[in-house]
Amino acid sequence: MNKINLQNISRPLVMGILNVTPDSFSDGGRFANFDMALQQTELMLQQGADIIDIGGESTRPGAPEVPVEQELDRVIPVIEAIKSRFGCAVSLDTSKAQVMQAGITAGVDLINDVCGLEGEGVLKVIADSDVPVCIMHMQGSPRTMQKNPQYSNLVNDIMAYFSERIDHCDTLGIDKSRIIIDPGFGFGKTLKHNYQLLAELEKFKQLECPVLVGLSRKSMIGNLLELDIDKRLAGSIAAATLALNNGADIVRVHDVEETKHAVRIFNAMKYGVENE
């Protein structure tokens, strides 16, 4: 009922972001945060989210690294509660093998790794499971990535990275049919790079994997429009709509209700109002 079938994503999917980092909620203590996470999940599901992406590690440039025990404490109880209460598709945004393993045991449907499965022990955990994975491209590390990112050919370099990861996964028994690719907007890219990627997103379809994009409220919107984070909704919807038109299969967003509207407009145009 809730399994994500990567083989036939016939309509774009909306992935709703659920942050369970302490800084994402006003400090009401652990239980308040847990409760708010479930409330936020229920709301996003009502608004039409297809997947809930749970993250307990801030990937913000320069953010402190979260110790594994703390990340486990934050995300695993929330995953268990969401799976039992809502039974929806759940994605786990992590780069750590131990957290992935615990998430898989707790029943996550997708691993979303901004480090492209490069972390220690990660490939083995994935190879020993059958969960789909999202491999995101990042140049550098969260701490350094925005210091003068450079490419010889932006799209070709990122395509080559995916090809290498897909081949490497294959040698370890991780079939390509389990892989989603994500160009990683804002992760080691200038403003210009980000808009070039959006323009040329269609090229990633050559790799024959579903394409996921995260554009929601990002600096590429805020810096272009000179708007703070709470003013980026319209820009985010515009960017998501353009990504859909350029072939994105999954959009990772904060604002599910508004993004669903964009997806429905896109579907009506693409498939006809009868089959929207």
According to the binding rule CB under 6 A, does residue 255 interact with ligand 7PM? no
What one-character DSSP code corresponds to residue 211?
B
According to the binding rule CB under 6 A, does residue 136 interact with ligand 7PM? yes
Rounded to whole angstroms, how far apart are CA atoms 109 and 88? 9
Instruction: Count other Cβ atoms within 10 Å, centred on residue 214.
Output: 27
Angle between helix axes 68-86 and 97-105 (nearest 10 degrees) is 20
Catalytic positions are: 218, 252
Closer to ligand 7PM by Cβ: residue 76 or 136: 136
Q: How far is the CB of 216 from ligand 7PM (least distance, A)?
A: 6
Q: How far is the CB of 236 from ligand 7PM (least distance, A)?
A: 10
Residue 12 buriedness (CB in 10 A; 0-12 / 13-18 / 19+): buried
According to the binding rule CB under 6 A, does residue 165 interact with ligand 7PM? no
Instruction: Count other Cβ atoms within 10 Å, centred on residue 32.
Output: 12
Instruction: Specify the stretch interacting with ligand 7PM by CB under 6 A; choose among 53-61, 68-76, 116-124, 236-244.
Output: 53-61
Among 184, 188, 210, 235, which residue interacts with ligand 7PM (rule: CB under 6 A)? Answer: 184
The bridge status of strand 250-253 relative to strand 13-19 is parallel
Instruction: Specify the stretch interacting with ligand 7PM by CB under 6 A; choose among 32-40, 146-154, 181-189, 225-233.
Output: 181-189
For residue 93, the SS3 value is: strand
Residues that bind ligand 7PM (CB under 6 A): 17, 58-60, 93, 112, 114, 134, 136, 182, 184-185, 212, 214, 218, 252
